[in-house]
């Protein structure tokens, strides 16, 4: 019995538990009582437009913003009563936060290591080697390119061997190739260290690639919370593009006759249909004698889901 | 207008002081009065600027969030800034002391034992003012950074750094005496003139220091809490 309680509370305890978190800036309600959890080893994505409350949530978790109401439990502890203890076990990186420009990379990392009570320099050396940043250690932080800075910031974020990593738009303002490299690094960190992550981004495709679960925030409220796969199933419609050899004769009549939603333009038929309907539609096109040159099926992604949810939530208001 | 007004006020009172020849009757060398004044003033200014500039450097490099998302506390940051500031103060004292001795044959250490409490009281007020200015910088960001460099100068004409309190118009006296610096600089002149430690001036300075330090710490805490409530820490620039 005792073992089961230990097992349940320690092993299955969420890394982060947020209950009814509220925050307003004057008359603007940034968070309207959100609740969510992050389990051990989970990458939770926070999606939402500007002003949705993503950054406010992260900054409350980091305790640089004071909430009006709500409870935050980190590692089973009240985060606000145990600030130093919980911050020791987590870390943060963002594209909008920099290092001390006048110090070298090595000096910066030494300062942060000391802030986290890390003795010696072995851990810094090990991480710099792991992230192929050894050659940067003598460089002044202000001279680093955005790609180099990103790598060093990841090293900084891993100095204290965190159990939870908060990533606030870690790839925004980065070139696409560097952003891709950053995503690879973060995936590798997650794979090898099983660190839980909270990941905010405007980039839906990035969240879809990175996260095991996604929370949609809109105007300070959670409007969806599920895996990317389940969320995309909320949009049954796929976009089917069928390109013909030459002009398809009477295509509009064909669509009307078979009650298919779509339109014809430039030798191409644009059809909106549910996944299960697509084989039948293609069969009918072949049956009608159309010569098809190319077929392209576009599946709904998180962006479509987000647009749908945002439309529905604004319609409710 | 700020710098011309402050400069004119300081030089105007210095000129009055020299013209009245009041220093001759006090039995102290004018070189000692001025060099002692400027040395202690520089120590004060250095210590005052260090706290606010420590924060400003982190704001300028946009790394302040990195500091505050670590387990570091405000007290740790302030104590670290004070310790670094004290090293700078010692270096400043040694350099200025050596230069005064070599170039002008004035030994700041003729203040003897009284140099220690005077300097300590000077530093406490510097930290109190530093905390107050840092609170304003937190609240208004780099728009208020000029205060970190220039706020102390507003006090310079009225706290009797280079001339005795008696040179100032009488209506300024109550204002001047409300600052520990006035008691410290008046005390320094008394030591240079008579060789006696002015205990009353020290007690006044200590009492006022305690008051200002408490107020500075309270104000800093209040502003920091305001910044956290308004979500301004990450936006400081």
Which alpha helices (H) appear in A195-316, and where do they start and end? 204-210, 228-232, 251-257, 278-287, 302-316
Q: Do B234 and A59 touch (CB under 8 A)?
A: yes
What residues have CB less than 8 Å from B223, skipping those under 6 apart?
Answer: B134, B135, B136, B138, B139
User: Closest to A87 (Cβ–Cβ): which among B58, B60, B70?
Assistant: B70
Q: Helix A122-130 to helix A146-158 angle, to the nearest 10 degrees? A: 130
Of A108, A109, A184, A111, which Cα lies nearest the Cα of A147?
A: A184
Q: Is A119 on the interface with B (CB under 8 A)?
A: no
Can you tell me the distance from the alpha carbon of B11 to that of B186, in angstroms, rounded to the nearest whole number? 18
Given a cut of 60, whether residue A5 has pLDDT beyond it is no
Give the best residue of A31, A63, A64, A112 to mutate against chain B (max B CB count within 10 A): A64
In the predicted model, residues of chain B with pLDDT beneath 70 are 22-28, 237
**pLDDT tens digits along A86-116:** 999 999 988 888 898 889 999 999 999 999 9
How many angstroms separate the CA of residue B211 from the nearest CA in chain A? 29
Contacts of A96 in chain B (CB under 8 A): 62, 234
Report pTM: 0.81
* Higher pLDDT among residues A285 and B236, named by residue: A285
CB A100 within 8 A of CB B63: yes
Of B83, B118, B105, B112, which Cα lies nearest the Cα of B203?
A: B118
| Closest residue, chain A, to B224 (C-alpha) | A64
Domain positions in chain A are 2-227, 237-299
Q: Is A114 on the interface with B (CB under 8 A)?
A: no
Specify the residue for token string 């420009």.
A101
Interface of B with A in 29-68 (CB under 8 A): 57-58, 60-63, 65-68
Tokens of B217: 């710490």
Can you tell me the distance from the alpha carbon of B130 to that of B209, in angstroms, rounded to the nearest whole number? 13
| Residue B33 exposed, middle or buried by CB count within 10 Å (0-12, 13-18, 19+) | buried
Contacts of A94 in chain B (CB under 8 A): 65
Q: Do A115 and B67 touch (CB under 8 A)?
A: yes
Q: How confident is the model at residue A17 (pLDDT cuts 50, 70, 90)?
A: very high
Q: Do A56 and B231 touch (CB under 8 A)?
A: yes
The residue-averaged pLDDT of A80-85 equals 95
CB A288 within 8 A of CB A256: no
Q: Is the dihedral of CA B43, B45, B48, B49 positive or negative?
A: negative
Q: Is the dihedral of CA A91, B222, B236, B45 positive or negative?
A: negative
Say what the pLDDT of residue B204 is: 95
Can you tell me the distance from the alpha carbon of A87 to that of A143, in angstroms, rounded to the nearest whole number? 29
User: Closest to A64 (Cβ–Cβ): which among B57, B68, B73?
Assistant: B68
- Distances in Å between the alpha carbon of A195 and those of A158, A180, B169? 10, 19, 68
| Domain A2-227 of CATH type 3.20.10.10 | no
- Distances in Å between the alpha carbon of A244 and those of A217, A239, A241, A264? 42, 16, 10, 11
| Closest residue, chain B, to A117 (C-alpha) | B71
Say what the pLDDT of residue B182 is: 95
| Closest residue, chain A, to B72 (C-alpha) | A115
Can you tell me the distance from the alpha carbon of A77 to that of A72, in angstroms, rounded to the nearest whole number? 8
**pLDDT tens digits along A257-274:** 888 888 888 788 888 888
Backbone angles phi, psi at A296, to 5 degrees: -135, 125
How many angstroms separate the CA of residue B237 from the nearest CA in chain A? 12
Q: Do B69 and A64 touch (CB under 8 A)?
A: yes
Q: Do B231 and A94 touch (CB under 8 A)?
A: no
Q: How confident is the model at residue A35 (pLDDT cuts 50, 70, 90)?
A: very high
SS (H, E, C) chain B: CHHHHHHHHHHHHHHHHHHHCHHHHCCCCHHHHHHHHHHHHHHHHHHHHHHHHHHHHHHHCCCHHHHHCCCCCHHHHHHHHHHHHHHHHHHHHHHHHHHHHHHHCCCHHHHHHHHHHHHHHHHHHHHHHHHHHHHHHHHHHHHHHHHHHHHHHHHCCCCCCCCCHHHCCHHHHHHHHCCHHHHHHHHHHHHHHHCCCCHHHHHHHHHHHHHHHHHHHHHHHHHHHHHHHHCCHHHCC
Of A75, A117, A112, A77, which Cα lies nearest the Cα of A97?
A: A112
Max Cα-Cα span within chain A: 77
- Cα B28 from chain centre: 24
| Residue A303 exposed, middle or buried by CB count within 10 Å (0-12, 13-18, 19+) | middle
Can you tell me the distance from the alpha carbon of B49 to that of A182, in angstroms, rounded to the nearest whole number? 39
Number of CB pairs, chain A paired with chain B, less than 8 A apart: 77
Q: How confident is the model at residue A10 (pLDDT cuts 50, 70, 90)?
A: low
What residues have CB less than 8 Å from B129, skipping those under 6 apart?
Answer: B48, B151, B152, B212, B216
Strand partners, A22: A32, A69
Tokens of B150: 């220039």
User: Closest to B229 (Cβ–Cβ): which among A66, A92, A97?
Assistant: A66
Domain positions in chain B are 2-6+28-235
CB A65 within 8 A of CB B231: yes
CA dihedral defined by A176, B58, A116, A147, rounded to 10 degrees? 20
Can you tell me the distance from the alpha carbon of A85 to that of A107, in angstroms, rounded to the nearest whole number? 25
Q: What's the CATH superfamily of A237-299?
A: ACT domain (3.30.70.260)
| Residue A311 exposed, middle or buried by CB count within 10 Å (0-12, 13-18, 19+) | exposed
Tokens of A186: 């973060």
Average per-residue pLDDT for chain A? 86
Q: Do B225 and A59 touch (CB under 8 A)?
A: no
Q: Do B71 and A84 touch (CB under 8 A)?
A: yes
Confirm whether A2-227 and A237-299 share one CATH topology.
Answer: no
CB A166 within 8 A of CB A91: yes
| Closest residue, chain B, to A57 (C-alpha) | B231
Q: Do A25 and B60 touch (CB under 8 A)?
A: no
Q: Is A155 on the interface with B (CB under 8 A)?
A: no
Segment holding A124, helix H or strand E: helix A122-130
């Amino acid at each position: 019995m005792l073992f089961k309680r230990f097992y349940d509370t320690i092993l299955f305890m969420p890394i982060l538990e947020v209950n009814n978190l509220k925050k307003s800036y004057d008359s603007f309600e940034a968070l309207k009582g959100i609740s969510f959890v992050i389990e051990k080893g989970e990458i939770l994505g926070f999606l939402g437009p500007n002003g949705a409350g993503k950054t406010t949530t992260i900054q409350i978790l980091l305790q640089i913003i004071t909430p009006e109401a709500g409870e935050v439990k980190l590692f089973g502890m009240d985060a606000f009563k145990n600030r130093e203890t919980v911050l020791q076990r987590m870390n943060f990186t963002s594209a909008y936060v920099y290092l001390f420009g006048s110090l070298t990379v090595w000096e910066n990392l030494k300062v942060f290591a000391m802030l986290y009570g890390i003795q010696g320099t072995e851990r810094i050396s090990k991480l710099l080697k792991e992230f192929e940043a050894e050659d940067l250690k003598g460089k002044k932080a202000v001279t680093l390119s955005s790609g180099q800075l990103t790598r060093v910031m990841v090293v900084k974020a891993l100095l204290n061997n965190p159990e939870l990593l908060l990533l606030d738009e870690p790839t925004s303002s980065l070139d696409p190739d560097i952003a891709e490299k950053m995503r690879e690094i973060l995936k590798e960190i997650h794979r090898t260290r099983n660190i839980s992550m909270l990941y905010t981004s405007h980039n839906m495709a990035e969240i879809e690639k990175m996260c095991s679960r996604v929370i949609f925030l809109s105007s300070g409220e959670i409007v969806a919370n599920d895996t990317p796969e389940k969320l995309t199933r909320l949009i049954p419609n796929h976009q089917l593009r069928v390109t013909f050899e030459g002009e398809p004769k009477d295509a509009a009549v064909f669509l009307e006759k078979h009650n298919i939603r779509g339109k014809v333009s430039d030798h191409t038929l644009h059809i909106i249909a549910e996944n299960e309907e697509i084989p039948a539609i293609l069969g009918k096109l072949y049956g009608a004698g159309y010569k098809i040159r190319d077929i392209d099926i576009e599946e709904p992604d998180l962006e479509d889901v987000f647009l749908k949810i945002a439309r529905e939530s604004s319609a409710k208001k | 207008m700020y710098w011309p007004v402050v400069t004119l006020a300081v030089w105007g009172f210095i000129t009055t002081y020299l013209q009245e020849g009041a220093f001759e009757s006090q039995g102290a060398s004018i070189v000692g009065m001025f060099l002692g004044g400027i040395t202690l003033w520089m120590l004060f200014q250095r210590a005052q600027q260090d706290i606010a500039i420590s924060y400003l450097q982190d704001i300028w490099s946009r790394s302040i969030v990195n500091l505050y998302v670590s387990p570091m506390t405000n007290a740790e940051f302030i104590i670290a800034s004070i310790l670094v500031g004290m090293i700078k103060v010692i270096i400043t004292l040694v350099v200025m002391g050596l230069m005064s001795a070599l170039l002008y044959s004035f030994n700041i250490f003729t203040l003897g034992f009284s140099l220690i409490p005077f300097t300590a009281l000077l530093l406490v007020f510097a930290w109190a003012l530093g905390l107050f200015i840092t609170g304003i910088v937190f609240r208004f960001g780099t728009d208020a950074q000029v205060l970190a460099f220039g706020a102390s100068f507003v006090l310079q004409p009225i706290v009797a750094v280079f001339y005795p309190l008696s040179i100032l118009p009488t209506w300024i006296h109550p204002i001047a005496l409300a600052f520990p610096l006035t008691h410290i600089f008046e005390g320094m002149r008394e030591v240079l003139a008579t060789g006696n430690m002015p205990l009353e001036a020290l007690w006044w300075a200590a009492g006022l220091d305690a008051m200002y330090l408490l107020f500075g710490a309270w104000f800093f805490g209040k502003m920091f809490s305001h910044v956290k409530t308004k979500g301004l820490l990450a936006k400081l620039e």
